[in-house]
Amino acid sequence: LGPHRMPLVATLGPRVWSKVLKSPVRNQTLLFSDPALPGPAGEAGHALLAAAFEAAARDFFGRVLFLVIPSNQSNVLRYFGLSPEDYPTMVVAVAPPEDLKKGPMFRLDQSIPERNLTRLLAEAARGPDAAGVCSGGGGEQTCAGT
């Protein structure tokens, strides 16, 4: 295994972050979810989303990094314009090759997370607006499956 090899799904922390920065895989799918949060955003909601996230990760392993972002990652939350109140949510981010600048970001509709995530990743391979699943602008779009 190479030194930058990532697991199927990784929870973001300092060791994982260094691998993300060095990874040749530039597309990232981020699950902003934390089982420690109270209410529906907590353990039960996390389990449902984590299962959908892992299912999609199997289909795109090696082409997309799948990262779980706990609510204590304040720098990452700020970078994506989110707060713990936005939990749970999923974002697909496309990083420009060999560049740390922000690329396009797509925030997913959460009504059917696995179908929406799988469809969005498939559409992203053909271009972000290939099937009209995304709307919005300013670097962040909302995407839904049909």
pLDDT at residue number 145: 39
Helix orientation angle between 113-126 and 43-60, rounded to the nearest 10 degrees: 30
pLDDT at residue number 66: 94
pTM of the model: 0.72
pLDDT at residue number 111: 60
Print pLDDT tens along the chain (146 aa). 454 578 899 999 888 988 888 888 888 889 998 888 887 767 877 888 888 888 888 888 888 899 999 999 999 999 888 988 888 888 888 776 666 667 778 777 656 555 566 666 666 555 544 433 444 433 444 444 33
Strand stretches in the chain, DSSP E: 10-11, 27-32, 65-69, 89-94, 105-108, 134-137, 140-143
For 125, the 3-state DSSP assignment is helix
pLDDT at residue number 125: 56
Token pair of 56 as six digits: 């999609």
